[in-house]
Amino acid sequence: MKQNLTAIIFGLAIVGSSFILGNAVINRNKQAGTIAVTGLGQTNFTSDLIVWEARFTRVDRDLKQAYADLERDKKAIQDYLKAKGITDSVVVFNAVSTQKNMKQNYSSTGQYMGEEFTGYTLSQSVQIDSKAVQQVEKISREVTELLNKGIQLYSLSPRYYYTKLDDLKIEMISRATENARLRAERIATNSGARLGNLLTAKMGIFQITGQNSNEDYSWGGAYNTSSKEKTASITMKLTYDVK
């Protein structure tokens, strides 16, 4: 009788341990339900800083004369900008660069005959960084007035920036997060579940493109400087558990 009781207890122990082990495997493999969504934050804005650059040059066989001519051009440009309402505080003239020009000579048979000095090319650039965007834009379009005075001025296209990017990024992150949360709530509701705790949040790349342009987003983040009117966007990927 004692042997039978021992066998029964041993059998029950095996069955019980098997049930516990099996339940442990099931719980271990059972994954909690989650929802992963991506939200978009986007807004249009107008640049509040313009950067315009131009380069002017003089060519002469006499280096001293070339410098004198370039200095005279610089004074004419300064006077022109002041007359247009641009203060000296936003104007920077960079250092003069000097290039010695040489011409390669060849004989009628194509034999190299050496080099010949043809003169010096002196160039200097001027840059304006200003919040008077429309004013500097107008100047960049009217530089032909200087060309008509004999100044060899080569104007570059203006570049446009925004000085409150940090505030803009915070606003975009908030919008993208809210957009993602609303998406997650809708998915959970439509699935008959309830949104739980936020598990992870990952911010995407901040992008700035020209408004109504066909610019592609970049993995490193696009940053348009050619358009005054821009669009900023950012994504937020959120993961929630569901109940």
For 119-166, the pLDDT digits (tens) are 999 999 999 999 999 999 999 999 888 988 899 999 999 999 999 999
Share of residues in the chain with pLDDT > 90 (%): 72
pLDDT for 166: 93
pLDDT for 81: 95
pLDDT for 144: 87
Question: Looking at this protein, which amino acid is placed at residue 88?
Answer: D
The pTM of this model reads 0.78
CA-nearest of 148, 150, 154 to 123 is 154
Which residues partner with 208 through β-bridges? 223, 232
Of the given ranges (121-125, 192-196, 236-240), which has the lowest mean pLDDT? 192-196
Q: Of residues 84 and 25, which shows the higher confidence score?
A: 84
Q: Which tokens belong to 188? A: 């959970």
pLDDT category of residue 13 using cuts at 50, 70 and 90: very low
Can you list the domains of the chain with their CATH numbers? 32-46+164-242 (3.30.110.170), 50-104+112-160 (3.30.70.2970)
The Cα 188–Cα 198 span in angstroms is 13
Phi, psi for residue 47 in degrees, rounded to 5: -60, 145
pLDDT category of residue 32 using cuts at 50, 70 and 90: low
Classify 7 as helix, strand or coil. Answer: helix
Of the given ranges (6-10, 65-69, 138-142, 147-151), which has the lowest mean pLDDT? 6-10
pLDDT for 231: 95
